[in-house]
Amino acid sequence: MDNKPAKPEETPEALTETGETGAVVESEGSEETTPEAEVVKADETSVEDTAEKADDTEADPVTTSEAEAEAEAEAEAEAEAEAEAEAEAEKTEDGIEDAVIVETEEVIEEVDEEAPAAAPAPEKEVVRETVVERKGGFFPMLLGGVAAAAIGFGVTTYMYQVGPFAAGAAANDFDTLLQDEIAKRTASEQAMTARIEELAQAVPALPAEVEGLGDRLTGIEGTLGSLDSRLSAATETLTALETRLNDMEQRPVEIASETAVANFEAEVNRLRDEVATQRSEIETMAKEAVEAEAAAEETSRQALARAALTRVQSALDAGTTFEPALADLRANTDADIAATLADASINGVPSLTQLIETYPDYAREALKDSRAENADGGAADRVGAFLLNQLGARSLEPKEGDTSDAVLSRAESALKDGRLTDALAELDALPDAAKPAMAPWIELARQRQDALAAAESLAQTLNN
């Protein structure tokens, strides 16, 4: 241990006061520092004071032995440690007081260790009420609607024995019935397609037929020209004969024998007969020429009329207007044109396919009105009628009976088979409650029926 110059002896009390004063000053200068920083600063001040104290003690000849100094230092260290513990316990209320730690070199390492930070005061728990807001979504509503529709369909079909719950063969062959329905629709469409193709093939053949008529007319015109030439020649011959006959008659009568007179008279008579024959041939040839020309014109008109009628029938099948075709028909025939066909040529009539496609909607409305008229029974009947109306349930196969559903089913079956007249006859027996809803469809169907009847009558007239 090195010897240092002796310093004036300082008592422990002075050291303590000095250390406390330094610590207090330092603490006041950093009131806003953290507790850990204040402890470290206090430790550094204590170590420096302790080192100076130790040096002063070693150099002072008046001090006691080293053992006594160490004992005093240890005692002071223990006192300071106790004071530090008490200060830490009271730091939340009065702050942390710096203490002077006087230790020897053996205690410095322990003093440098950081004091554990005090645990923060627990925060006051705040109870918050969570409000759960229920919001509706689209998919739950959709699923609910689908489920309700499925339940209603099941209840209705089971109660009224329709659809897959139908009694007897209908229940076991529901799929078969559907397939038959599809097959009928397909067959009807194929039949109409075949008819349209037939008409389409007939129309291109008409120009060839008309061209053939033109060739025939050309031949007739050539024949007429030949007849005219022959007629002109015969007329010239007849004129010459008449001239000769007149000359002979105007000759002065000479005394001749009876034989000469008889020969002269015979020659005159022969000439007269020849003139009459030529005249008759000319008249016959002229008549034949006129008749041939008239026949050619009539044949041409008939061909053009049939072509126009074919266009009319094609338009009726397609449900389109045909005013130009009807005008050509009028120009080439003297037959009367029905007013219904004339109106249809301007406005058109619905096709059979259109009538088949629109029939279900009108039938559902008619059944709805009929069920409303008959819903005077119990609650079960009213509920069943309501569900049937919502689902649009109706019979797809022809049924026997006089109910609205039965009549409509038979009419639809006839319609799909192309028997429009039979379908309208069935609808005549429809109950009064269902007739108003079907009236617009029946009117359209009758327009088509009347137009077809008028076209058929014209076709028969042209073929006779």
State the pLDDT at residue 176. Answer: 60
State mean pLDDT over 89-110.
45
How distant, in Å, are the alpha carbons of 75, 94, 104, 329, 447 from that of 42?
19, 17, 16, 127, 116
DSSP 8-state assignment for residue 338 = P
Give the span between the Cα atoms of 35 and 37, in whole angstroms. 5
In the chain, pLDDT over 70 holds for what percent of residues?
48
Shared domain for 221 and 330, answered yes or no, is yes
Shared domain for 328 and 396, answered yes or no, is no
DSSP-based three-state secondary structure for 214 = helix
Q: pLDDT: is 265 or 66 the higher one?
A: 265
Residue type (1 letter), 251: R
In a domain, 158, yes or no: no
State the pLDDT at residue 396. Answer: 75
Shared domain for 321 and 359, answered yes or no, is no
State mean pLDDT over 15-42.
38
Task: Say which range, 5-19, 162-176, 290-304, has the weakest mean pLDDT.
Answer: 5-19
Task: Say which range, 13-27, 307-321, 331-345, has the weakest mean pLDDT.
Answer: 13-27
Shared domain for 192 and 330, answered yes or no, is yes
Q: What angle do CA 86, 89, 94 make, to 5 degrees?
A: 95
CB 332 within 8 A of CB 459: no
How distant, in Å, are the alpha carbons of 254, 318, 357, 411 from that of 448?
91, 11, 15, 16
Q: Could you count the other beta carbons within 10 Å of the beta carbon of residue 224?
A: 19
Shared domain for 322 and 365, answered yes or no, is no
Q: pLDDT: is 233 or 422 the higher one?
A: 422
pLDDT, one tens digit per residue, over 339-376 is: 989 999 998 899 999 999 999 999 988 888 887 766 56
Domain hosting 42: range is 12-112
Q: pLDDT: is 452 or 375 the higher one?
A: 452
State the pLDDT at residue 50. Answer: 45
- Among 96, 112, 128, identify where a domain stops: 112
Shared domain for 287 and 366, answered yes or no, is no
Task: Say which range, 163-167, 198-202, 218-222, has the weakest mean pLDDT.
Answer: 163-167
Give the span between the Cα atoms of 218 and 221, in whole angstroms. 5
CB 346 within 8 A of CB 370: no
In a domain, 117, yes or no: no
pLDDT, one tens digit per residue, over 387-418 is: 555 555 567 788 888 888 889 999 999 999 98
State the pLDDT at residue 279. Answer: 80
Q: Is the pLDDT of residue 30 over 50?
A: no
Q: Could you count the other beta carbons within 10 Å of the beta carbon of residue 446?
A: 14
Structure tokens at 455: 């076209």
Shared domain for 324 and 396, answered yes or no, is no
Of 395, 373, 7, 337, the C-alpha closest to 170 is 395
Q: What does pTM read for this prediction?
A: 0.46
Shared domain for 88 and 184, answered yes or no, is no
pLDDT, one tens digit per residue, over 118-147 is: 444 444 444 454 444 445 556 666 677 777
DSSP 8-state assignment for residue 377 = S
Give the span between the Cα atoms of 272 and 278, in whole angstroms. 10
Shared domain for 283 and 379, answered yes or no, is no
- Residue 260, domain CATH: 1.10.287.620
Shared domain for 184 and 281, answered yes or no, is yes
DSSP 8-state assignment for residue 419 = -
CB 321 within 8 A of CB 346: yes
State the pLDDT at residue 259. Answer: 80
State the pLDDT at residue 441. Answer: 95
pLDDT, one tens digit per residue, over 46-90 is: 444 444 443 444 444 444 456 677 777 777 777 777 777 776 666
Residue type (1 letter), 198: E
CB 86 within 8 A of CB 35: no
Shared domain for 361 and 326, answered yes or no, is no
Of 418, 448, 419, 423, the C-alpha closest to 187 is 418
DSSP codes of every residue in 79-136: HHHHHHHHHHHTHHHH-PPP------TTTHHHHHSPPPPPPPPPPPP---PPPPPP--
DSSP 8-state assignment for residue 164 = G
Q: Which residue has the tokens 């099948």?
A: 317
Give the span between the Cα atoms of 413 and 389, in whole angstroms. 21
State the pLDDT at residue 60. Answer: 45
In a domain, 285, yes or no: yes
Shared domain for 330 and 357, answered yes or no, is no
Q: Please state the domain count of the chain.
A: 3
DSSP 8-state assignment for residue 255 = -
